[in-house]
Amino acid sequence: MIVAMKRVSLVIKANEKRGALKALRKLGILHVDEVKSTNETIEELGSSKHSLERVIATLKEYKVEEYPKKSLSKEKFTTLYETTLDLIEERGFLHDQIQLKRNEKERLQEWGDFNPDDIKELTKNNIELTFYKVSAKELSKLSSDEMSYILLGGSGKNVTIATVNSLLPSSVVGQKLTLPENSLTALSNQIGEIEGRLEDIEGEFNKLALHLNDFKAYLAIVEQEERFEIVSASLQEEGQVAWLCGYLPFDEVENFKGVAAKEKWAYLIDDPGEDEAPPTLLKNRKWINIIRPVFDILGTVPGYREYDISMWFLIFFAIFFAMIVGDAAYGLIFLIVAIAMHVKAKKANNAIILLYVLSLTCIGWGTITGTWFGSKAILEAIPFLKALIIPQIANYPEIFGIEATSAQNMVMKLCFIIGTVQLTLACVMNVWRKLGQKSLAFVADIGWFVMLIALYFLVLMLVIGTPINLGLVASVVAIGFLLVIIFGGQEPGKPFLKGLAAGGANAFSSFLDTISAFSNIISYIRLFAVGMASLAIAQSFNSMASPMLKGFALPAGVLILVIGHGLNLVMAILSVVVHGVRLNLLEFSGQLGMEWSGVNYNPFRETVETTNNTL
């Protein structure tokens, strides 16, 4: 659920603001309205944070068996930090230099190995050579009587020449070449020296990586100090007082009052205004919280006044995952991965538990549809697996004397049922909320509910060919549409006729939404289509490998199976991200009217223990 927030206005003495902010940070429950501002201190801390992140990103590339348990002193850390930054800068410079010298070496390959100082020596003796690259056709225009030149060589249609004490005449087109500063031998030596130094730097980075945790700890301190300064800059001052505003979870109000009384702060606590956008704090039961990693990856946060759909997202996401991956054997692979992660981590976090749930639902769906690595042979070889199949939705219905078209139609129908259930659930949630708000607009959501039910039967007729009473369906859609027009613009406190006028003004938009609702139900067919595509890919690789699974070709056949099913598994995961998430975040959330416009509750708090070296 989304935790109710209270609006807090806090007033403190201006000359005590830093001490007050430290106390507020230690309390760690107020989400402060931070004002975007900057000053010299904030800029310095931001620069330090950027440098530390750069150092950490560099040192993460090096493997360390065991980190030292004792932290470095501040003096040693500062020296190490400066050394690491210098090495990063030097490595970047050397990489640029070595690339330039390699490019120069490649350019000079056709010149051959010579000493440029010899050319400069000729200049001292009044013999000046100028180098050009010209085509053979252009060279034919140049007469030896007209000017002296030396043919140095060439590749393809182009040749390199050196003119003696003169420039190429304007009648001949050529590219003037720059005399290199170093010979090929010298360049090779320089490249070797740089490569040697880069190897030394890599060795130093391997040693510095032992102190990665020290850099991470210092970064946490810098981030805490930076936020302190940002909050401090967000304070507004006038005379001897300063104030700031923020939000507080309703169950932390007494906590805040106790500290405020102790610190002698003045404050005002009230409910957020309708025009305000408080942060969102989600609190759910442990079994629902396992979906949080998905929200964290997607970066989606519901608005404060929107819905917390965590539970429904989890339930439907597990169903979508199972139907899209669609293979019980793949589910077993996910289960093995989950167990391995559990053993390695020594405890099951939300991500691991979620993987357990998804793998089990995948095994369940694959079992009842008879899909084990997309192989019919496995079912024929193991009668027990065949006994677990529901014939009406089987991927090999011919085993049970059922036509493939009939089984496929049943799966498509199941997809449409799931879609209709999810979309009508959104209508029920909207009705429940608007009843609590005493808004007549709940009747419009009842209209959407009956429209979706009617549109479901229309989808069955158009996609599967199920016979329906078209007149009855059209009548129900029309009734639902009228309810949406009449009650869609109603609001608490608004006169009925004004609400009716608002609903009438949105009639065309509501008509388009009706078409969209129809297409939303159809879009759930993607669960069937993607699942069938995954099955077809598995069957194709099985067919390719089957003739090789004997004799000397056995290793090749096994390799094809491993690569093929591995690729199919990766594609299935991507499909879950694209399609399984979409149905929840677009179709379902769209019916709820959600915009995912929220901001996470992020209280001003102490993230690392403060010492004399920090604020």
Query: Over the stretch 302-347, which tens digit does the pLDDT of each residue have?
Result: 999 999 999 999 999 999 999 999 999 999 999 999 999 999 998 9
Give yes or no for residue 156 having a pLDDT over 80: no
Residue 4, pLDDT score: 94
Q: Which of 274, 302, 330 is nearest to 493 (CA)?
A: 274
- Strand-pairing partners, residue 10, are 244, 267
How far is it, in rounded angstroms, from Cα 459 to Cα 473? 11
Q: Is residue 391 part of a domain?
A: yes
Give yes or no for residue 146 having a pLDDT over 70: no
Q: How would you label 511-521 residue by residue, b for 16+ Cβ within 10 Å and e otherwise?
A: eebbeebbebb
Calculate what percentage of the chain has a pLDDT beyond 70.
Answer: 97
State the sign of the Cα–Cα–Cα–Cα dihedral 502, 507, 509, 514: positive
Which residues 6+ apart lie within 8 Å of 550 measured at CB? Answer: 557
Calculate what percentage of the chain has a pLDDT beyond 90.
Answer: 68
Same-domain status, 12 and 137: no
Same-domain status, 291 and 244: no
Same-domain status, 293 and 277: no
Q: What is the 3-state secondary structure (H, E, C) of 203-256?
A: HHHHHHHHHHHHHHHHHHHHHHHHHHHHHHHHCEEECCEEEEEEEEEHHHHHHH
Give residue 437's identity as a one-letter amino acid code: Q
Q: Is residue 522 part of a domain?
A: yes
Q: Is residue 597 part of a domain?
A: no
**Other beta carbons less than 10 A from residue 307's beta carbon:** 18
Residue 610, pLDDT score: 60
Give residue 557's identity as a one-letter amino acid code: G
- Strand-pairing partners, residue 270, are 7
Task: Work out the average pLDDT over 123-140.
Answer: 82
Same-domain status, 207 and 341: no
**Using 50, 70 and 90 to split pLDDT, how confident is the model at 612?**
very low
The whole-model pTM stands at: 0.81
Q: Is residue 574 part of a domain?
A: yes
591 neighbors 428 (Cβ within 8 angstroms): no
Same-domain status, 299 and 152: no
Candidate from 135-149, 267-281, 389-403, 476-490 with smallest mean pLDDT: 135-149
171 neighbors 178 (Cβ within 8 angstroms): no
Would you give the end-to-end CA distance of the chain in angstroms?
A: 35
Task: Work out the average pLDDT over 177-192.
Answer: 85
Identify the residue with better confidence: 554 or 121.
Answer: 554
Q: How far, in Å, are 126, 132, 151, 153, 176 from residue 156 at the CA level?
A: 33, 15, 14, 10, 18
Q: Is residue 396 part of a domain?
A: yes
**Other beta carbons less than 10 A from residue 300's beta carbon:** 17
How far is it, in rounded angstroms, from Cα 98 to Cα 336? 46
Q: Which tens digits make up the pLDDT trace of 580-609? A: 899 999 999 999 999 998 999 999 999 887
Same-domain status, 231 and 329: no
Residue 613, pLDDT score: 45
Task: Work out the average pLDDT over 24-45.
Answer: 91
Q: Which tens digits make up the pLDDT trace of 530-547? A: 999 999 999 999 999 988
602 neighbors 31 (Cβ within 8 angstroms): yes
Q: Which of 257, 229, 185 is nearest to 8 (CA)?
A: 257
Task: Work out the average pLDDT over 115-135.
Answer: 81
Q: Which tens digits make up the pLDDT trace of 345-357? A: 989 999 999 999 9
Paired sense of beta strands 149-155 and 31-32, if any: unpaired
603 neighbors 31 (Cβ within 8 angstroms): yes
Which residues 6+ apart lie within 8 Å of 83 measured at CB? Answer: 208
Same-domain status, 93 and 120: no
Q: Is residue 231 part of a domain?
A: yes
**Other beta carbons less than 10 A from residue 295's beta carbon:** 18
Q: Which of 591, 580, 530 is nearest to 318 (CA)?
A: 580
417 neighbors 457 (Cβ within 8 angstroms): no
State the sign of the Cα–Cα–Cα–Cα dihedral 576, 582, 587, 588: positive
Mean pLDDT of the chain: 90
Give yes or no for residue 136 having a pLDDT over 90: no
Q: Which of 599, 304, 594, 597 is nearest to 430 (CA)?
A: 594
Same-domain status, 128 and 245: no
Q: How would you label 225-259 residue by residue, b for 16+ Cβ within 10 Å and e otherwise?
A: bbbbbbbbebbeeeeeebbbbbbbbeebeeebeee
Per-residue DSSP letter, 179 = P
Give yes or no for residue 615 having a pLDDT over 60: no
How far is it, in rounded angstroms, from Cα 291 to Cα 354? 7
Tell me the CB-side half-sphere exposure of residue 190, using CA atoms within 13 A.
17
How many distinct structural domains can be found in the chain? Answer: 3
Q: Is residue 226 part of a domain?
A: yes
**Other beta carbons less than 10 A from residue 370's beta carbon:** 24
Long-range CB pairs of 452-457 (<8 Å, 24+ gap) are 452/420, 452/423, 452/424, 452/427, 452/517, 452/521, 453/420, 453/424, 454/480, 455/514, 455/517, 455/518, 455/521, 456/416, 456/417, 456/420, 456/521
How far is it, in rounded angstroms, from Cα 349 to Cα 292? 11
Same-domain status, 24 and 171: no
**Other beta carbons less than 10 A from residue 607's beta carbon:** 12
Q: How would you label 137-165 residue by residue, b for 16+ Cβ within 10 Å and e otherwise?
A: ebbeebeeeeeebeebebeeeebbbbbee
Same-domain status, 151 and 196: no
State the sign of the Cα–Cα–Cα–Cα dihedral 421, 423, 427, 433: positive
Give the start-end residues of each E strand in 239-329: 241-249, 266-270
Which residues 6+ apart lie within 8 Å of 430 measured at CB? Answer: 442, 445, 448, 592, 593
State the sign of the Cα–Cα–Cα–Cα dihedral 533, 538, 540, 541: positive
> Widest CA span of the chain, in angstroms?
106
Secondary structure of the chain: what % helix, strand, coil (to 5)? 65, 10, 25
Give yes or no for residue 279 having a pLDDT over 80: yes
Residue 385, pLDDT score: 92
Q: Which of 122, 147, 182 is the last residue of a domain?
A: 182
For residue 552, the enclosing domain spans 286-592
Residue 145, pLDDT score: 63
Same-domain status, 238 and 381: no
Pull the structure tokens for residue 412: 């498509």
Measured CA angle at 132 (ends 131, 138), to 5 deg? 145
**Using 50, 70 and 90 to split pLDDT, how confident is the model at 614?**
very low
Residue 327, pLDDT score: 94
Q: Is residue 225 part of a domain?
A: yes
Same-domain status, 276 and 356: no
The alpha carbon torsion through 401, 404, 410, 411 (nearest 10 deg) reads 120
Residue 340, pLDDT score: 95
Residue 121, pLDDT score: 78
Q: Which of 182, 201, 221 is the last residue of a domain?
A: 182
Give residue 483's identity as a one-letter amino acid code: L
Which residues 6+ apart lie within 8 Å of 329 measured at CB? Answer: 366, 371, 372, 373
